[in-house]
Amino acid sequence: MVFVLNHHRSSISRQSQLLCTMALSFCWTKLRLSVSSFLVSLADSFSSLLACLAPTAKIPYKTLASTISEIRLITLLPGEPDSRICCEIKHASLNDAPQFEALSYEWGSRSNPRRISVHGHRISVTENLHAALNNLRYPRKSRTLWVDALCINQDNILERNDQVRLMARIYSTAHRVVAWVGTEAQGGDDAIALIEDIRDHFQLDLDHPVHFSPHGFRAIGFDPDTKNWSALLQLFQSTYFTRVWVIQELHFAGYVLDSKDQCLFGYGNHWIPRTWLTNAWLFLIYVANSRTEFIKDVGLYGRGDPSGLAEPARTLYLNNNSAMHRMFDILITAYKEGLGQPQVVSLPKAYMAFQSVPRLCFPELFQSDPPKSRAFAQLLRLTCNFNATDPRDKIYALLGMIGDDGKEFPVDYTRSLQEVWREAVSFSITKSRNLEILETNREYIDPHVPSWMTSWLSQLKDGASWSQRSLYRTSADLGAVPPRFSDDGKVLYVKGLTLGTVASCMIPSADVDGVENLELWFEIFRTCLFLYNRSFGPEHQQAFWRTLLMDQDQSIAGKPKLPASESQLLKAATLFNELPVPEYFEPDSQPNVRRDRFTMPFVHQIDDCLKNRCFFVTNDGCMGIGPSCTQKGDVVAVLLGGAHCFLLRPKDKQYQLVGNAYVHGMMQGQSILVDIDGEVVGAKEIRLC
């Protein structure tokens, strides 16, 4: 019994020892693994710290074979989010149609560079590019991309020249363009959810405009009051949409109305098809076109109080001067000019990036025998307020969109901005035989550059009425003379007539939306009328109203014509209480509502013609609308090849170009007389300095 008991105790003791040994072994293994993991983590952190402190290297580029249209592509190696970004570089010929995706993005600030590894070399990139690559990287497989900052040797001017010429081919050859809008802002999830909600409720296109109303929204179960419209607008306020290169990159990404469009937009960790974003923009466009339907309180609205509007018009109104305006107006002007879409007044500017604008503005470019001569000046005018790190790119970025003509324009980053712009002026006038490239509206004439070199910093937005060049033939369809410059390249010689001087002018109307501030518009009209009556008396009021309308009849949406209709003049008289609202117009509405709605088309058109422009009267009795910087003493001129008149400012024995102008009674070639030798009577050489 004692033996058994002792034996049992001995067995328990051995089992306990075994269990203790196993437990100690397990704990030691765990501790060793933890220490090992800690040391590995510490080593990784230390390596990352060393990588950040170590000097960056330059990519050891090999020479590209330009004869076979060779480019570089990066292989973005797989990795988890926020781990070190590693990639490799290889060469490929565009002639072989390689498979890759092209990145469209904004370089962004260089103040906080990040490091990536390229073939083991620590390379510095901008924070925005680092974020784009981090969000593009797959966790388990590689991705082949073309990224300009990495695939072009930025220190090699000759290579930059060659690669910029290939830019159109690169983006059109890529099987997909991925557009990085930027890091997601607060409310980004709400913005994407709203884009998806709009997609689910509305399938929109440009050829079938939709008229929206709060009642119509309710009928389909779409409640705009519950949506975060500010989050959506914040997405569109990204500075990505202000880049001039975006226009070409997304143009060659494919036609957005094509159901096979592969272009993707990235916003933080969200990637959505371009068609969704386009649909959301169209929604905003049609809300803008239907804005009067969203007026809840005419009194508040007329005083500029946004609470008088229903959503989403209220949020759009509050964001009226935001950064996203830069691209939205482009489409409105361009589409109206190309296909006759009704004008949208005073709303964000950016739909151009999502749409293939050249197809809309210049459908003739895509026909079998395309006349491309006008496209260059039009694109320059439409994109003048876009940004580029290198200002020469504001010209180079457009060349791929004008077909074979663009290949004739030399891309050379060794030339100064003034030399490149002089080449652009000569190129445009020679190709088109018109002076559209000289048409400008600006706040001031930059004293540091020739006046014919339009200053992008002072360029102002014109209304769509100014794009209706085909309505006017000021120089009687006579083409511009071949461009010629002085030996030092600072003076441009043109030919034309000088016809009078500005005797008085009103201050520019600024960027005021007449519908939102009718009282201010009344004051502007009274100023115009005072200037007019002081010179001519009230009997010429009809000519006065025609001048303010640029004599355009826009009563049929998308089909402007000359002259202005009598119905617009009736609205003008009603606006100033000279005549009552016609009895047939909304007889059941309140009197002030009837008056505001009846006169609103007239106010919209005046707003469009006068925005950022000056009404003026000349010394010989002509009335006109000139650039914002118009001054007393400026000379009215008709230049051969010009659709509009021009204002010039005398300087010594030369002239500074002020900009283009509407002058009533001169817009159909009335000043042009041709003698039996085919010469314009009174025409002379005019030197623009």
DSSP output for 233-263 = HHHHT-GGGGBHHHHHHHHTT--TTSTT---
List the Cα angle 168/172/173 in 5-degree steps: 115
In this structure, the strands spanning 645-651 and 635-639 are: antiparallel
Kind and range of the H or E run holding 427: helix 417-432
What pLDDT score was predicted for residue 297? 78
By CB atoms closer than 10 A (0-12, 13-18, 19+), residue 161 is middle
DSSP output for 339-390 = H-PPP--S----GGGTTTHHHHH-GGGGSSS---TTHHHHHHHHTTT-B-SS
Tokens 């009425």, residue?
Answer: 465
Cis peptide before 483 (omega within 30 of 0): no
What pLDDT score was predicted for residue 608? 86
CB 618 within 8 A of CB 551: no
Which residue, among 578, 510, 508, has the nearest Cα to 541 in the 3D structure? 578
> What is the spatial distance between Cα 95 and Cα 310, in angstroms, rounded to a whole number?
54
Which residue, among 632, 646, 615, 659, has the nearest Cα to 508 in the 3D structure? 615
What pLDDT score was predicted for residue 596? 80
Which residue, among 172, 127, 367, 376, has the nearest Cα to 263 in the 3D structure? 172
Stretches in the chain below the pLDDT threshold 50: 1-12, 18-19, 22-24, 26-31, 33, 35-54, 321-371, 373, 511-517
What pLDDT score was predicted for residue 668? 96
How many other β-carbons are positioned within 10 Å of the β-carbon of residue 18?
Answer: 10
> What is the spatial distance between Cα 565 and Cα 554, in angstroms, rounded to a whole number?
8
Reading the block at residue 300, the tokens are: 């508040």
> What is the spatial distance between Cα 328 and Cα 317, in angstroms, rounded to a whole number?
14
Q: How far apart are the first and last CA of the chain?
A: 124
Which residue, among 145, 128, 125, 148, has the nearest Cα to 75 in the 3D structure? 145
CA-CA-CA-CA dihedral for 322, 327, 333, 337, to nearest 10: -170
What pLDDT score was predicted for residue 524? 64
What pLDDT score was predicted for residue 368? 35
In 256-350 the beta strands, taken as DSSP E runs, fall at 264-267, 270-273
> What is the spatial distance between Cα 262 and Cα 275, in angstroms, rounded to a whole number?
9
Q: What is the pTM of this model?
A: 0.81
Kind and range of the H or E run holding 134: helix 127-136
What pLDDT score was predicted for residue 95? 97
Under DSSP, the state recorded for 508 is: P
Which residue, among 118, 127, 121, has the nearest Cα to 150 in the 3D structure? 118
